[in-house]
Chains A and B, each alone.
Chain A
Amino acid sequence: MTMITRRGALLGGAGMLAAPALVSQVDAQGAFNWRRFAGERIEVSLTANPRSQILIQNQREFEELTGIRVGSEAIPEQQHRQKFVIEFASGRPSFDVIGISLHVNKRQVGRARWTADLKPMIADASLTSPDFDFADFGAGAVAYSTQADGRMDTLPEFTDYFILYYNKEIFARAGVQVPTTYDEMYETARRLTDARAGQAGFVGRGVRNANVVLYTSFLLGTQQRDCTDANQRLLTDTPDAIAAGEFYKKIMRDCAPQGVAGFNWNEAQTSFSQGRAAMWLDGVGFAAPLEDPTRSRVAGKVGYAVVPRGAARHHCALFGTGLGISAGSNERKRGAAWLYLQWALNKRNQLRFLTAGAGAPARQSPYRDEEAIRTSRFGRDYFETLIASSRIAHPGLPEIVPVTEFRDTLGTALTNTIGGADVATELRRATEAFRPILEQSERAT
């Protein structure tokens, strides 16, 4: 006869206490089978950034939930783009899930149909968890992830808005207000520029390629707004394009640090984070390093604001990334990859992106999480800026295949204007140089 020991009774009691929790977990799992691809292994290729870091740090959650093993890599942005394009073109990519910069590769990936259409998977109740809540993704982000033919070949991960960072201390000392128009921004920047003290009123990207997104931020404020028309004809030598170029030249020459013609975002970040620039117009993802007191002298003094209004419109440049599933992967791996996407872009991870200052998540629910926002190390103005920016966001680059060539050609012209070259001449020359490339690309499409 088995004796009931004290230890046995305690264990039994503990088991009974835990039973309701276990039952509810079984019920939740019972609704959707996360483990249907258990034992599978998938490869995930991401761009190196704080969001990828969050996914990689927490991927064990996914592995335990699904029994799927994940091999992740995070490669610097430019090298990552080259790698995945070459691998896709080879016909045998080494990854099943791929992170894609939509503002650079969307059209290229869509044209070649390198990633699978996600719409059938989203519609398949046996493959998609009820918790997934696709409607939670912002309409703008979903539109950005959708190709012209209606295929949605990436799931939106992150939307990057250009915002205005400003140094509250410098602003308070000078007694100036946050600018609401580009003209005010220029005047404020001029007022805050003190070359002898080594203080710039404004800093931004000047080096070719990278500088185009700052220029298009100014162009978004004009009536024309875009670099191309609806038929993908180039509009970079029009009066509005030249006016935006003149503003770019003016603010960079008069208010930015010497040598800004060679500045990418990292040099601009260094100037701003060391308190040497009063304003910086750039992507939202830089809040985290700016608020890190071990790396930044302006931590706790950074103000966030939506980009100022232009002469005719008020938009902020929108960029974004999405996660796609390699169309060449076999059915089981594609299924496993779809589960990964559901986990990677679930509400919890998207909230992690937001509260870590890793950028603006593509879902809307994180912005409604008052508790998380209140306990975040970022001020309320940061979150308000994100929400306000989402309402005025517009793509900052044209959706064309040769977008890197476009950025290099136009960017060289813009860099030359910082050196003093005539804006109209440079933009016309760049337009003439790039037009045949774009036309050829469009013919191929």
Chain B
Amino acid sequence: MSGGTTIPDGKAAALTGAAADRVRRKRAYARHYWPFVVPAAVVVVAVIVFPWIFTLWMSLNEWKLGSGRSFVGLANYERLWGDERFHGAIWRTLYFTALAVVIPVVLGVAAALAFHRRFPLRGLARTIFILPMMATPVAVALVWTMMFHPQLGVLNWILSQFGIPPSLWVYDASTVIPTLVMVEVWHWTPLVMLLVLGGLASLPVDPYEAAKIDGATGWQAFRYITLPLLAPFLMVAIIIRTIDALKAFDTIYVITQGGPGTASETINIFLYLNAFAYYNMGYASAVVVVFFILIIGLALLLLWSRERFKDAA
């Protein structure tokens, strides 16, 4: 038999000529093409599956770098359950994420609507607006840190020029998270603006002409035409911002290292400290697993919201 296909005699007899050919072709494809899948599969197993299984395994162990490792079952998870510092980190992460998603999305949409209109020097204005996005987060964080200094920072000087009392910015527990969000907003609103601007450019003009003929106001056109049509773009922006905000680390670490006290200690900072300052690898692995579950939950919520948006549209 050509190609060395090995169909059992009984089965081969039962197949018609065309069907037998199809089966033979399929098997030949499988035999010839599966080697091409192997490298990708190996990479996926090596960089995703194995680290995950290893992390899961580590989360069931007590292991401090420089000491021996011992199996402790679910003890790390029990400890997490009762760890107030971890609970605080979860709430701060959600608080930070909510603010760092909603504000840039609202401002980004407003900026996109503004830059969608034609006005003199629009290209230059757009370029200036997206500049923060191009800056390196660590460098940005260092500059902001100097600006936040309560005695010598330029921000308090600016406030003083308007007769506003100085703020403590990142140096006070009550203002540290909103201040860090302010840095995120400055840094990442341009990204949302670009995404929404792309969406606006692709919108059809017919519905607007029809709405105008029907006497719709500007707000009604925005609410009932622009917003629903922009929904897919907004969802992309929200998903990207949520992922970015959840994994925010560099800015927070450079500016506050989680302080004052634990006032800006998000899960990432908590995880980092446990893994690389306290060297509690087992405990840190348990944090990773719980954080992963949290992210999966949020991702599912976002996907579900997207489907609802689609249906509504």
In angstroms, Cα B256 to Cα A108, docked, is 27
Check A262–B278 contact: CB distance below 8 A.
Answer: no
Interface members, chain A 249-298 (any B CB < 8 Å): 257-264, 267, 270-271, 274, 276
Check A402–B173 contact: CB distance below 8 A.
Answer: no
Check B64–A259 contact: CB distance below 8 A.
Answer: no
Interface members, chain B 268-285 (any A CB < 8 Å): 273, 276-279
- B-binding segment of A328-336, A349-357, A404-412: A404-412
Check A261–B260 contact: CB distance below 8 A.
Answer: yes
Residue among A78, A209, A259 with the highest chain B CB neighbour number at 10 A: A259
User: Per-residue CB proximity of B138-176 to A under 8 Å, as 1/0?
Assistant: 000000000001111000000000000010111111001
Check A259–B66 contact: CB distance below 8 A.
Answer: no
Check B172–A262 contact: CB distance below 8 A.
Answer: yes
In angstroms, Cα B118 to Cα A122, docked, is 78
- Chain A neighbourhood of B39, CB < 8 A: none
Check A267–B66 contact: CB distance below 8 A.
Answer: no
Check B259–A258 contact: CB distance below 8 A.
Answer: no
- Chain B neighbourhood of A207, CB < 8 A: 256-257, 259-260
Q: Is A206 an interface residue (CB 8 A)?
A: yes
In angstroms, Cα B279 to Cα A402, docked, is 9
Check B278–A416 contact: CB distance below 8 A.
Answer: no
Minimum Cβ distance to chain A for residue B65 (Å): 4
Check A198–B151 contact: CB distance below 8 A.
Answer: yes
Minimum Cβ distance to chain B for residue A259 (Å): 3
- Chain B neighbourhood of A111, CB < 8 A: 66-67
- Chain B neighbourhood of A263, CB < 8 A: 171
Q: Is B55 an interface residue (CB 8 A)?
A: no
Q: Is A174 an interface residue (CB 8 A)?
A: no
Minimum Cβ distance to chain B for residue A249 (Å): 14
User: Per-residue CB proximity of B166-203 to A under 8 Å, as 1/0?
Assistant: 10111111001000000000000000000000000000
Q: Is B226 an interface residue (CB 8 A)?
A: no
- Chain B neighbourhood of A259, CB < 8 A: 150-151, 168-169, 171-172
In angstroms, Cα B253 to Cα A82, docked, is 15
- Chain B neighbourhood of A148, CB < 8 A: none
Check A258–B168 contact: CB distance below 8 A.
Answer: yes
Interface members, chain B 212-263 (any A CB < 8 Å): 256-262
Minimum Cβ distance to chain A for residue B75 (Å): 12
Q: Is A88 an interface residue (CB 8 A)?
A: yes
A contact face: mostly helix, strand, loop, or mixed: helix
In angstroms, Cα B256 to Cα A209, docked, is 12
Check A276–B277 contact: CB distance below 8 A.
Answer: no
Partner of B152, one of A82, A262, A270, A418: A270
What number of A residues sit within 8 Å (CB to CB) of B? 41
Known: A259-B168, A262-B171, A404-B278. A274 touches B152 (CB 8 A): yes
Known: A86-B65, A262-B170. A412 touches B262 (CB 8 A): yes
Check A419–B173 contact: CB distance below 8 A.
Answer: yes
Q: Is A89 an interface residue (CB 8 A)?
A: yes
In angstroms, Cα B279 to Cα A89, docked, is 10
Check A415–B260 contact: CB distance below 8 A.
Answer: yes
- Chain A neighbourhood of B67, CB < 8 A: 111-112, 444
In angstroms, Cα B168 to Cα A207, docked, is 14
Check A257–B150 contact: CB distance below 8 A.
Answer: yes
- Chain A neighbourhood of B173, CB < 8 A: 261, 419
Check A208–B149 contact: CB distance below 8 A.
Answer: no
Check B65–A416 contact: CB distance below 8 A.
Answer: no
Complex: chain B residue closest to A105, CB-CB: B66
- Chain A neighbourhood of B65, CB < 8 A: 85-86, 89
Known: A258-B166, A261-B173. A415 touches B276 (CB 8 A): no
Known: A259-B168, A262-B170, A271-B151. A416 touches B277 (CB 8 A): no
- Chain B neighbourhood of A270, CB < 8 A: 149, 151-152
Minimum Cβ distance to chain B for residue A105 (Å): 9
Known: A271-B152, A408-B273. A262 touches B66 (CB 8 A): no
Provide 24 A-B residue pairs closer than 8 Å at the C-beta atoms, listed in order of the A residue.
Answer: A82-B276, A89-B279, A111-B66, A112-B66, A112-B67, A200-B151, A207-B256, A208-B259, A208-B260, A258-B171, A259-B172, A262-B256, A262-B259, A263-B171, A264-B257, A267-B149, A270-B149, A270-B152, A271-B152, A401-B66, A408-B277, A412-B261, A415-B260, A419-B172
